[in-house]
Chains A and B, each alone.
Chain A
């Protein structure tokens, strides 16, 4: 593992906490020091300094007294600031008056029950309605490798916090890719589970039928630890088919998903496929029918659903929304009900198409982002010789699996020639997040390029 002790994984630190050789209070102090050390990154909106230190002291006493709760006990974690934490404002990155929840969101309750220490609430793209984390009333989140670049979004602060050792795990939300996109841009692991596996209660909604809550971590094993603690719907183990004998099969959806990629991303994909083939994996080319219509289906669901959520405030507080987010919310009002229903019908069609692509495969493997971290403020970007809006490019490879509900996990897959993290995602069968996590743990060593460090290997 990495030599930087502040970037140790949860599974590495947990036995040390249990043995008493590492103190939760010291871990929290270290995280606070690193948060204070890079304020220009705007990773956090609220730092729960006193509460985190007090909770860590309690955890230390509990562990010492033999009341060890498990691998998250005493581990500092953060949550995206659209998730309710009792006693702290929920801002959603907006200039609107925040809400002051009296109760924790169920996902926060679960993490606390597992012994995790909440260190703070991370910055995000306003109302999670963007992929760059640059539109936030609390300042743009900046990429740790170059502050002129975006760390991706909307859960940008969470990914930055992980890369910088400001916490050991984080909770994000993913409506079109908002857990996986910043994980890809920053070189961390991000899991979008199946719908409702982790409760969206107490979470500011973007699109009620597309929203997912998921863990963001440094390793797959950590993602599993966080996911198991966060789960609010029991796993559907009974439906898992027995794994067939023979090599693992990964389906690569080449049409649409591998056609327009940054050369560095293309090279990383080719490198990973080559490594996996040599390791005994069978790589199979597959196609997802109607994939080219993904963005059309997505926009006709997300816009009216977001517009509905913001209907009570968009006129009254119009000036408190950033122009970019306000315009998109206003657009949602013009989508006809019949077109929303058409999108919902095609959602089913796309779901069946992904199921067909998965037939005979253990998972799909494809890039998470077609580009490395984009410059802040860029409206469009050149992708393999073609100009494309940044937002469309960043959502292009992730949003399908929010539409269909298949579990997906972003994994670091090395770096481009000029040092930017690249990520590949694995997409698993419906209702089998457990199977996806098992496979991701098997595949992870072949993807991260050797040194296992956060950020995806050398560079």
Chain B
């Protein structure tokens, strides 16, 4: 799930639950998640032998993962 999509869904959910105070913290968390994903990508790029196989389709039913 893309970070911006995740952030919007999380903020909407927090609003629905009556937890608007979470929103600024979720925005901070989104920045941290983006940094985490970037680190994951860059480490995997240099660890070519452990990178996930790119030419294998996901199993049936997992295309949306």
How many A residues face the partner with a CB closer than 8 A?
23
Q: Is the CB of B10 within 8 A of A296?
A: no
With both beta carbons as reference points, the residue of chain A lying nearest to B31 in the complex is identified as: A296
- Complex Cα gap A87–B40 (Å): 47
Q: Do B36 and A349 have beta carbons less than 8 Å apart?
A: no
Q: A342 on the interface (CB 8 Å rule)? A: yes
B1-57 CB contacts (< 8 Å) to partner A: 1, 6, 10, 13-14, 19, 21-22, 25-26, 29, 32-33, 35-37, 39-40, 43
Which of A225-233, A328-336, A378-386, A419-427 forms contacts with chain B?
A328-336
CB A311 to nearest CB in B, in angstroms, measures 14
Q: Is the interface of A mostly helix, strand, loop or mixed?
A: helix
Residues B43 and A349 in contact, CB atoms below 8 Å apart: yes
Chain B residues lying within 8 Å of A346, measured Cβ to Cβ, are 36, 39-40, 43
The answer to whether the Cβ of A276 comes within 8 Å of any Cβ in the partner chain is: no
Number of B residues near A (Cβ < 8 Å) is 20
Who on chain A is nearest to B17 by CB?
A330
Q: A299-B32, A327-B25 are in contact. Are A334 and B13 (CB under 8 A)?
A: yes
B33 touches A339 (CB 8 A): yes
A338 vs B65: C-alpha distance when bound (angstroms):
9
Q: Which chain B positions have C-beta within 8 A of A342? A: 36-37, 40
Q: Are A299 and B29 CB-contacts (below 8 A) given A330-B22, A336-B1, A343-B36?
A: yes
Q: How far is the CB of A341 from chain B (nearest CB, A)?
A: 9
Nearest residue (CB) in A for B9 is: A334
Q: CB of A437 within 8 A of chain B?
A: no
Q: Tell me if B39 and A327 are in contact (CB < 8 A).
A: no
Instruction: Find chain A residues with CB under 8 A from B43 CB.
Output: 290, 345-346, 349
Question: In the complex the two chains form, what is the Cα distance from A293 to B40 in whole Å?
Answer: 10
Chain B residues with CB below 8 A from A330, complex form: 14, 19, 22
Assess whether A296 is in contact with B6, with CB atoms less than 8 Å apart.
no
Other A-B contacts than A295-B32, A299-B32, 17 sampled, CB-CB below 8 A, are A293-B35, A293-B36, A296-B35, A303-B29, A327-B22, A330-B14, A330-B22, A334-B10, A334-B14, A334-B29, A336-B6, A338-B1, A338-B65, A342-B37, A342-B40, A346-B36, A346-B43
Query: What are 18 A-B contacts with C-beta separation under 8 Å?
Result: A293-B35, A296-B33, A299-B29, A300-B36, A323-B21, A327-B22, A330-B14, A334-B10, A334-B26, A335-B29, A336-B1, A338-B65, A339-B36, A342-B36, A342-B37, A343-B36, A346-B43, A349-B43
Binding site for A on B (CB under 8 A): 1, 6, 10, 13-14, 19, 21-22, 25-26, 29, 32-33, 35-37, 39-40, 43, 65
